[in-house]
């Protein structure tokens, strides 16, 4: 479903990715681990079309994304890719429901239908009662679940998560990790998760180790 071929990326004289090839299968939960500075975030950003590689190709759902212009890429990203970051990055002035709704409205779905879908997604994540609350009225774990609901609202091909539990305490961390696997079971959702959490990495189907911009296993 995702194919990366010979991806390289440098920032100035620093070569951050040195020829990464990777396939992700539909319905797979893949983890990417490695020391700080190894290039994990850069790889995830390239996989998510937020950044372009210097060389190599990214193919998602049969589309070679390097061939898309910026406008096509934004539309493609909106429909095919969901993101969850370490810090929820919810918009503080909007409610949980509105935060989840926004990507659906951007996708051009009618407001009524999108609102219904957003409520269902929040309910699926156990947040039905929190829909009208703003981020500062939610716990850290709840905010991260709202961020997951936002990532899922357009039923993307893949959810890319960059240290999603990095700012959570142990209990909320474990809840979030379990949630990824529940969503895979219930929705067939594919996940690529960058993590420092060994427990999470062990739960995933496969772990890619990145060191100095190279896959070492
Ligand atoms: N936009 C950028 N400009 C310059 N250097 C960057 C940029 N993004 C990342 N880097 C550098 O690339 C290296 C890899 O970064 P990153 O992909 O964030 O690693 P990781 O997520 O594994 O910690 C680091 O040395 C980082 O400082
Ligand atoms: Mg990182």
- Does the CB atom of residue 44 touch ligand 1 within 6 A? no
- Look at residue 87 and tell me whether its pLDDT is greater than 90: no
Q: With 90 as the cut, is the pLDDT of residue 20 above it?
A: yes
Average pLDDT, stretch 94-105? 96
pLDDT at 217 over 80: no
Give the ligand 1 atom nearest the CA of 34: 22
Ligand 1 neighbour 13 (Cβ under 6 A):
no
Confidence of residue 88 (pLDDT cuts 50, 70, 90): confident
Instruction: Give yes or no for residue 188 CB within 6 A of ligand 1.
Output: no
Most informative mutation of 9, 20, 35, 37 for ligand 1 (most atoms within 8 A of CB): 37
Residue 204's φ and ψ, nearest 5 degrees, are -75, 165
Report the interhelical angle of 140-152 vs 170-187 (nearest 10°).
20
d(CA 149, CA 153): 6
Mean model confidence pLDDT for the chain: 94
Q: Is the pLDDT of residue 56 over 80?
A: yes
Q: Which domains does the chain have, with CATH numbers?
A: 2-216 (3.40.50.300)
Nearest CA owner, ligand 1 atom 1: 11
CA distance 211 to 217: 10
Percent of the chain having pLDDT more than 90? 90
Positive or negative: CA dihedral 51, 66, 47, 27 = positive
**pLDDT value at 167 more than 90:** no
Give distance in angstroms: CA of 106 to centre of ligand 1: 30
Residues 6 or more apart whose Cβ sits within 8 Å of residue 112: none
Q: Give the model's pLDDT for residue 39.
A: 96
> Is the C-beta atom of 177 inside 6 A of ligand 1?
no
- Residue 112 C-alpha to ligand 2 middle, in angstroms? 37
Rounded to 10°, the helix 111-124/140-152 angle is: 130
Cα dihedral 62, 45, 95, 119, rounded to 10, equals 30
> Residues lining ligand 2 (ion), CB within 5 A?
40-41
Collapsing DSSP states into helix, strand and coil, what is residue 63?
strand
Name the percent of the chain in helix, strand, coil, to the closest 5: 40, 25, 35
154 close to ligand 1 (CB < 6 Angstrom): no
Average pLDDT over residues 63-78: 94
């Amino acid at each position: 479903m995702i194919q990366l071929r010979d991806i390289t990326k440098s920032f100035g004289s620093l070569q951050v990715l040195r020829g990464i090839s990777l396939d992700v299968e539909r319905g797979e939960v893949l983890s990417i681990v490695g020391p700080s500075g190894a290039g994990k975030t850069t790889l995830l950003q390239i996989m998510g079309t937020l950044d372009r590689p210097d060389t190599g190709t990214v193919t998602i759902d049969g589309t070679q994304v390097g061939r898309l212009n910026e406008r096509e890429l934004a539309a493609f990203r909106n429909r095919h890719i969901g993101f969850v970051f370490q810090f929820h990055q919810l918009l503080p002035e909007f409610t949980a429901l509105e935060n989840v709704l926004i990507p659906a409205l951007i996708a051009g779905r009618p407001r009524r239908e999108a609102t219904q879908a957003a409520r269902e997604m929040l309910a699926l994540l156990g947040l039905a009662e929190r829909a009208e609350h703003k981020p500062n009225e939610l716990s850290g774990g709840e905010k991260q679940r709202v961020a997951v609901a936002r990532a899922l609202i357009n039923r993307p091909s893949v959810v890319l998560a960059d240290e999603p539990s990095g700012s959570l305490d142990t209990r909320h961390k474990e809840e979030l990790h379990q949630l990824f696997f529940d969503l895979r079971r219930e929705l067939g959702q594919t996940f690529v998760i960058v993590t420092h959490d060994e427990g999470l990495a062990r739960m995933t189907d496969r772990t890619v180790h990145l060191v100095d911009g190279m896959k070492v296993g």
